[in-house]
Amino acid sequence: MRENQSTKRTRKYIDRRTLLKTGAVGAAGLAMGSGFASARLESNDEPLRGSNVHTVTSSGGAEISEKQRHEIRTRAVRDYEQKNGRSVDAIGVSKPQANESNVVAYAYGLDANGRAHSYVGLAGEDTTRAEMQSGRAEALIHNRFDRRVSELSSNIKASEQQVTTMAGGTVTDTENMEQFGKFDLEYASDPYGVVGMTNYWFKDTTNSSEADAHAFHTPAGYEPGTQAFGSEYKNDWGRVFHRWNKCEMGNTNLDYGQWQPYGTKSGSTTQGYSVSVSVGYETGYATAGLSWSYSQPNVEVVDESSAYNTYNQWHLKLNSDWDDDTRTNFIGFQPSSTVSTDDWESSMGEKDICELEVKARFDNGYSHFRRLRTWNTYKIVPA
């Protein structure tokens, strides 16, 4: 039987007030992610405030450890709670990984809604040749870091003006959904190029006790070595993956049409997209979804998704000649998908929801190429 929500909230207020008085912050409340819900601990009329953006960088190829990232999240959570007397009931956790790279820049903050805004910068080099170990990839991430932090700060400040549901990126309309968090990830590898993605995580607001809906909107981009490092490496292809088959919740359902771009498309295009999903098995259905639009150059998007196997894959192929601008400059696209799952509650503990990956191949035209790959696993964690 589901516990009375009022009783749960009352117990949460007492527990978190005690926690704040002692100055302790539980480890589960420090993971990267977004607030699923927040509880007001003290009654006042002051507007809610976001935390500062807390940061750390490394140098000389050293990696920022998970312990260091944990400390940054600790500062942000304490900052938010001290400013607002408000706790986060549950959070989303993102675990970033990439092949042959280290985390060299990290930033984290909570907006006025209690939702996370984070940036992870990874850098890698060709370690097979000493002459290629220039440190340029790390320098590129560090040179861009101030701008990334400024963007996070601006988003957090904007949330203080009106604490409400906020759409992300190019999303212009949400139906019974709210943004849970915004996760930026960049991976630079000298001399090949840069791959990156911004993952906006949405969850339905229908409060159904039977089912949840989750959505990820993933603007992904590819910057070839010709542009990033002045090398000979150009864009060849890119991919984005939404692996809902990694979800640990029951009844994960990816029906046909619950993702966009849907079906293989070719050519230049400017158009609007939308995805939706129905939630609620026994209490009646309610539609949740989001809409967005974008333009893309003369490319082919191959939809490699499988509703049967519960995953999405999109392959961005270039239709251009070798010297076309799309080969030598930044390109990208913005896929999204939604699923319905069983309803999550804190008694279930930590659960994986989805694994998101961005992948690219850069080619120098002389039978030498490099694939770059970076991915995140997103989890629900009770605070």
Residues in the chain: 383
How many Å separate Cα 89 from the centre of its chain?
Answer: 20
- 331 in helix, strand or coil? strand
Give the tokens for residue 86.
């408000």
The burial of 321, by beta-carbon neighbours within 10 Å (0-12 exposed, 13-18 middle, 19 or more buried), is given as exposed
- Other Cβ atoms less than 10 A from the Cβ of 382: the count is 18
Round to whole Å and give the CA distance between 227 and 328. Answer: 6
Q: Return the pLDDT at 246.
A: 96
Q: Are 207 and 215 in contact (CB under 8 A)?
A: no
- C-alpha distances (whole Å) from 305 to each of 82, 239, 288, 308, 335 are 45, 12, 21, 9, 12
Q: Return the pLDDT at 163.
A: 59
Phi, psi of 376 (to 5 degrees): -125, 140
Instruction: Name the nearest CA neighbour of 251 among 378, 339, 176.
Output: 339
User: Before 219, cis peptide (omega within 30)?
Assistant: no
- 105 in helix, strand or coil? strand
Task: Going residue by residue through the chain, which has 383 residues, state the pLDDT in tens, using 9 for 90 and above.
Answer: 334 444 443 333 333 333 333 333 322 223 333 334 444 444 456 788 999 999 999 988 788 998 998 899 889 989 999 999 988 777 777 888 887 788 999 999 999 988 889 999 999 875 555 555 678 999 999 999 999 999 999 999 988 886 555 555 678 889 999 988 899 999 999 999 999 999 999 999 888 888 999 999 999 999 999 999 999 999 999 999 999 999 999 999 999 999 999 999 888 888 899 999 998 766 678 899 999 999 988 889 999 999 999 999 999 999 877 888 889 999 999 999 999 999 988 889 889 999 999 999 999 988 899 999 999 888 887 76
Q: Return the pLDDT at 131.
A: 52
DSSP tag of 2: P
**With DSSP H G I counted as helix, E B as strand and the rest as coil, what are the percentages for the chain, rounded to 5?**
20, 45, 30
Q: Are 73 and 381 in contact (CB under 8 A)?
A: no
Q: Return the pLDDT at 282.
A: 66
Instruction: Name the nearest CA neighbour of 242 among 126, 74, 358.
Output: 358
Q: Return the pLDDT at 283.
A: 62
Cβ partners under 8 Å of residue 383, min gap 6: 26, 28, 29, 87, 88, 89, 90, 91
DSSP tag of 238: E
Cβ partners under 8 Å of residue 311, min gap 6: 241, 242, 243, 244, 245, 254, 305
Q: Return the pLDDT at 139.
A: 93
Phi, psi of 150 (to 5 degrees): -60, -40
Q: Return the pLDDT at 249.
A: 94
Round to whole Å and give the CA distance between 145 and 142. Answer: 5
Q: Return the pLDDT at 74.
A: 84
Instruction: Name the nearest CA neighbour of 32 among 84, 82, 68, 83.
Output: 68
Round to whole Å and give the CA distance between 101 and 116. Answer: 24
Give the tokens for residue 160.
């203080």
